[in-house]
Amino acid sequence: MTEDARALAAMARLLSPHCRVTGTSDGALIADWKRTRFIGMAAADVRKLAGDSPEERAELVGVLTRAGCASGRRKPPSDAVVARWLSGVHLLIRTAGFGRVLRLLALAAPGYARADVPTREEVARLKRVVQTRGRGSWVVNGDCKSEAVTAFVVLRRLGLAAVLHVGVREHPFAMHAWTESAGLCIPDADPRGHAFTSVLSVGSWGR
């Protein structure tokens, strides 16, 4: 897929159902059928939606949201919903295996065009919920893989930027998983002071 086609696809995922986007020679044309109007976007702005800068995407999303062409950010899930995700992810990892679950993340946590930059407060709240529910459950019992995948899925489904890491340490050998977002890690990237080297990172799909 070319860069322009990828950018148009990203915009199509972002727009509200009543809006349609068509590529033009110098950018894109948004048809807003709800308000019976047309809005043009320059090619450089369209490409920013498929670029590597969450800040630029967030700025464009804000413009489109204020114009009524895109929906606002989804509301954070309740503690009970996060707990259900945590239990479901843990059960899936136990039955299907961690490797298969990682391959399913593209379906459970697709790379929305959104990828807004979350605030530290948003991520800190999610971290508290995930760790409190995970370590207070005899089923999950503080499993780092379940906590990391749950945090990644919840953040991505909210349209927030997040990266899932799988790391190892050599002496003694151990594996660890964590999700990084807004400078915070869920769970901690270095539990009990042990540093892990990231050997796999899952972030923005298709980039």
Give the alpha-carbon dihedral of 98, 119, 168, 107, to 10 degrees: 20
- Whole-angstrom Cα distance, residue 197 to residue 202? 14
| Every domain of the chain and the residues it spans | 3-66, 79-202
Mean pLDDT of the chain: 86
Kindly provide the residue ranges of all beta strands, DSSP E only, lying in the chain, ordered along the sequence. 19-24, 27-32, 37-42, 163-169, 174-181, 184-186, 197-202
Q: Which residue, chain included where needed, has tokens 């979350």?
A: 118
Per-residue pLDDT of the chain (207 residues; tens, 9 = 90+): 577 788 888 788 788 878 899 999 888 999 998 889 999 999 888 888 777 677 888 888 888 888 888 877 678 899 999 999 999 999 999 999 999 999 988 788 766 555 667 889 999 999 999 998 877 766 667 789 999 999 999 998 887 889 999 999 988 889 999 999 999 999 999 988 888 999 999 985 434
Q: Could you report the per-residue pLDDT of 52-92, keeping only the tens digit for each?
A: 677 888 888 888 888 888 877 678 899 999 999 999 999 99
pTM over cut 0.85: no
Annotation: CATH topology of 79-202: Beta Polymerase; domain 2 (3.30.460)
